[in-house]
Amino acid sequence: MLVRPALLPSWPPRLEDLFGRAGPLVLEIGFGDGRFAAELAKAHPGWLLLGAEVSAGSVVRALRRLRREGVENVRLYHGQGPFALRNLVPERSLLQVIVNFPDPWPKKRHRGRRLLQESFFRRLSTRLGEGGALLLTTDHEEYFRFALEEAERTGLYRVEVRPPPETHLRTKYALKWEAAGRGFFHAVFTKVAEDPSPWPPIRRYPVAHALLEGNLPESLPFRKTPVPLRKGMAVFLEVARGEEGAYVLTRVEEEDLVQELLLEVRESERGLYAGVSRFGSPLITDGVRQAVAALVRLLEPLGLKVVQDHTGEGLR
């Protein structure tokens, strides 16, 4: 039920990898407590519903609901909607994208955080099938007008403003705003053309590690060390010492993917191993490989010598 990108058998995944079968695909971004996804999936048992949600608490609540209600045709991804759109959705495969009550980010300085921006609509056009559409429902008139303008600027959509379907007004937030006496806005953005720029899935690598020679010092002075990446940022947050070596809690931020993972420097049969711990099944991306390479670079002045480098950053 929960999609773990690092554990998928093929990359990018096929619908069969995600759902066990092919079928019409619908993506819901920001599914909250999952009640809309559950209802939609039950109303269309032949459809395949992928949900993306950044809040861990909401993902847990939605998973419980789907299990309780015996819903089989939904898969949930814990993370950014654009990440799911880019990496889990095959090109030209989507029948619909549902966005119910997106966070409005009303302050001017936060507008860049809004989901429904021109760049999003452009990229979305590469994942929608022919005649595929995004359905937006919101109580926030200013964000609604903003989304209409952003989509219209692309020239890739036919936009129709309609009364919201009754089913879209039964979500947690719809009921909350109805009780507060707010009005609702709904639009259907139907794809009529496609952005010509390709949007390939993020690259997933099989390994990122190095082997070193020497004695690992008792403590590693890497706590709160920032590591600039070619596209993003990593930080070594904490270092813990275990019996076999040291573990470095690392945050890696790349575009629409943020991962917290453990890097490890530990004794192995072939020498001192510096690489990504399997704990948490992180996705080995270019940023993760660069973070491992940065760790190795910091180990060298402590008297360790690199003998094999599989970080993708070369043996120096």
Ligand X SMILES: C[S@@+](CC[C@H](N)C(=O)[O-])C[C@H]1O[C@@H](n2cnc3c(N)ncnc32)[C@H](O)[C@@H]1O
Give the interface with ligand X as residue ranges (CB under 6 A). Answer: 29-32, 52-55, 58, 80-81, 100-103, 115, 171-174
Token reading at 50 = 């992928």
Residue 204 near residue 284, CB atoms below 8 Å: yes
Helices (H), 32-117: 35-43, 56-68, 81-87
Q: Up-side HSE of residue 183: CA atoms within 13 Å toward CB?
A: 6
CB of 58 to ligand X, least distance (A): 5
Q: CA dist 116 to 81, 124, 133, 143, 257, Å?
A: 11, 10, 13, 9, 18
CB of 38 to ligand X, least distance (A): 12
C-alpha angle with apex 46: 43 to 47, nearest 5 degrees? 80
C-beta nearest to ligand X: residue:
30
Minimal CA–CA distance to 264: which of 254, 251, 249?
A: 249
C-alpha dihedral sign at 280, 285, 287, 289: positive
Q: Angle at which helices 141-154 and 118-127 pack, to 10 degrees?
A: 60
CB of 152 to ligand X, least distance (A): 22
Minimal CA–CA distance to 246: which of 224, 225, 223?
A: 223
Token reading at 89 = 């959705």
CB of 174 to ligand X, least distance (A): 6
Q: Tell me which residues are annotated as active site.
A: 103
